[in-house]
Amino acid sequence: MNKEDAKPRLSRESLREALKIFEFIRPYRFQFVFGLVLLFLSSSIFMVFPYIIGKMLDVAQGVVVDFDLKKMGLWLVLILAVQGVISYLRVLMFAVVSEKGTADVRKALYQKLIALPIVFFEKSRVGELVSRLTNDVEKLYNTLYFILAEFIRQLIVLIGGIILLTWMAPRLSGVMLATFPVIVIGAIIFGRWVRKLSKKRQDILGETNTVLDETLQSIHAVKAFTNEAFERFRYSRANDQVVGVSMRYAKGRAIFAVFIITMLFGALFFVIGFGMHLVQTKQMTAGELITFVTYTAIIGGAIAGLGNFYTELVGAVGATERVREILRTPAEVDERPQTNHAAGRLTGDVQFDNVHFSYPTRPDVEVLKGVSLIIPSGKKVALVGQSGAGKSTVMQLLLQFHRLTAGDIRIDGTSIYEYDLPSYRSNFAIVPQEVILFGGTIRENILYGKPDATEADIIEAARKANALDFINRFPEGFETVVGERGIKLSGGQRQRIAIARAILRDPAILLLDEATSSLDAESERVVQEALNNLMEGRTSIIIAHRLATVREADCIYVLEGGCIAEQGTHEELSAREDGLYSSLAKLQFDAREPVSY
C-alpha cells in the first residue's frame, strides 16, 4: 500500500482528489465560509498596523500635521479590540469545522473498514490501518484547524503587502521584489525534498505501530518464549529507523529555514540601506521607511511561512490520498449483484457442487479441488483431515468471506451469492477454537449474538450454554468485565460465553471449528454438553482433528489435499481397514479416548 510510486504530487489531479475530502465539511460550510471571511478581515486589519505606526512616527517628528497623536492611539486601541473579537470568532469557526469534520472522516473511515472484504485485511497490516485511522486523520485535523487558515492568511498578507509597497514606493518595491523569484524557486525545491522525507517518515511510523500492535496482541507468546529482549530490539530498531528519517526530515526543514532567513535578511539589509538613501535625499519620510521595512519583514515572514505550510499541505495531500484509498475500496456488498433477495430464515440444506478455490493472496495454490458434498437440513456433518486439507476454507466459503474460483454453493436450492449478504449471514453462528471476546462485560459479549435480546433470553442462553453457574459466582454477575479479548476468563468459560452468544443468535446453520480441542477434560465435558444443546434441531458443520469428537455425526467427510477422500458414518469409515479415516482413528484411539459429542 505504501509504495514509492504512490507518492503525492501537487498536480491538478492530486489536488482534485484531495479536495474531495472537503465533502465531509459540507454540513459545516456556513462556519467554514464565515471563518474564511473573518480570516480575510483579520488579515486586512493586520496590514493597517504598519501604516498607522509609520504615520504616528511622522506625526511625532512634525512631518505630518493633519493627524493628532492621541486620537491615532485611540483608533489603534479600537482596531486592536475589533481584531481580537474577529480572531476569536475565526478560531471558533475553524474549530467547529475541524472537530466535526474530522470526526465525520473517522466515522466514515471506520464504517468503510468494517464493511471491506476479508481479503483486504489479509493483504493489509493492522498497524498500518490503525495509522491511517489515527495519524493520517490527525493530519487532516491539523490542516483544517490551523494549516489551511494560516496558509490563506500568509497569501493575503503577501499579496496585500506587495500591493501596498508598490503603491507607497515603486522604486524601493522593485529592489525588494527582485529577491522574490529566488525565494519562491528555493521554496519549491526544498518543499519537494522535505515532502518526500515527510511521507517516508509517516510510512515508517506506521510500521512501528504495527510492531507494537503485534507484540501486544501476542503478549502471551512473547512471555512464554521469553522473547521480551527480542521484541525490545525489534521495536527499538523500528524506532531507530523513524529517528533516522525524522532527523533527515528535520535537517531538511532546518536547511530550508536557513535558506529563507539568509535570503530575507540579506534582502532586508539591502532594502533598508537603499531606503535610508531615499530618506536622506528627501524622497520619502522616516515614517514611510519604517512602514515600508515593516511591510517588507511581514512579506518575508509570509514567504517563509508559505514554504513551511506548503510542505504541510502536501503532507496533508498524502494523508488524504491514503484515507481516500480506503474510502474508494469497494465494500463486500458493492462487489455483489444488486438483485440479491433477502434470505429470511433458511432451512439449512447445504450443497457444494464441484467447488474449486484459491485464496486471492495465494492464487497459485488451489486449496479446494472439485469438492462436492451434501449437508441435509438439521444434520450433524463433520469435516476431518490433516492441517491444510481445506476444512476451515469450507467454512469461510460458506460465510462468503471469499468468492469461489469455480463451482457453486447452494443453500435451500439457491446459490448463496443470490442472497442479500447481511440477511444470509444472520443464519449462521460460529464457535471457533480461539474464542475472541470483546473487552466489555459478559452481558455485552452474549448480546453480540442478538443485540435486541431480552434479559430472559440472555439468562436462558447462558443456562443452555452451562455458563449461568459460573457467571452467578462472579460478584458482578453478567456485568463482570471480561478484559481485553476475554483475558480474565478461563478457556472453558470463554468457550461457554461464545456458545451462549451462538444460542442467543438461534442460527439455522452452526459452524464449530475445533470448539473443544484446547480444553482440559473437565471443561471439555461441560462445553460439549452445551454444544449438544446448541446443535439440537439445526444444521451443524463440525471441524475436528480429534476423531472422538465426531463419532455421533450423521456423516463424516474426510478431506485430503483439497479433495473429498472418503465419506460415511464413523462406523462405516472405521470398517475400511485401508482407509484414511481408519488410519487416523487407529493412531488417535490407541491413546485415552476423550469425551465425545
Write the pLDDT tens digit of every residue in 38-95: 888 888 888 777 777 777 777 777 766 566 777 777 888 888 888 889 889 988 888 8
Q: Is the pTM of this model over 0.75?
A: no
pLDDT number for residue 291: 77
Task: Answer whether residue 568 shows pLDDT above 80.
Answer: yes
pLDDT at 7 over 60: no
**Segment of 21-25, 142-146, 233-237 carrying the highest mean pLDDT:** 233-237
d(CA 410, CA 412): 6
Q: Please state which of the four CATH numbers 2.30.33.40, 2.160.10.10, 1.20.1560.10, 3.90.180.10 is assigned to the domain occupying 4-331.
A: 1.20.1560.10
Q: Which of helix, strand or coil describes residue 368?
A: strand
pLDDT in tens, 240-276: 888 888 888 788 778 777 776 776 666 667 777 777 8
Amino acid at residue number 187: A
**Percent residues over pLDDT 90 in the chain:** 1
The dihedral through the CA atoms of 360, 366, 371, 377 has a sign that is negative
Share of the chain above pLDDT 70, in %: 84
User: Mind listing the pLDDT tens digit for each residue in 96-151?
Assistant: 888 888 888 888 888 888 888 887 887 777 777 777 777 777 777 777 767 777 77
For helices 521-535 and 455-464, angle between their N-to-C axes, nearest 10 degrees: 130
Q: What pLDDT is attached to residue 3?
A: 41
Q: How high is the pLDDT of residue 304? A: 67
**In the numeric block, which cell numbers belong to residue 118?**
476479508
Give the burial string for 368-407 (b: 16+ CB within 10 Å, else e): bbebebebebbbbbbbbbeeebbbbbbbbbbbbbbebbeb
Domains 4-331 and 344-426+552-597 share a fold: no
> Which pLDDT does position 465 carry in this prediction?
82
The answer to whether domain 344-426+552-597 has CATH 3.40.710.10 is: no
The domains of the chain are located at 4-331, 344-426+552-597
> What is the reported pLDDT for 353?
92
Which residues fall within 8 angstroms of residue 291, CB to CB, at 6 or more apart? 50, 51, 53, 54, 55, 168
Q: In this predicted structure, what is the pLDDT of residue 560?
A: 85
Written as nine digits, the cell of 69 is 497623536
Burial class of residue 307 (count of CB atoms within 10 Å of its CB; 0-12, 13-18, 19+): buried
Model pLDDT for residues 140-160, shown as the tens digit of each residue: 777 776 777 777 777 888 888
Highest mean pLDDT among 9-13, 434-438, 451-455: 451-455
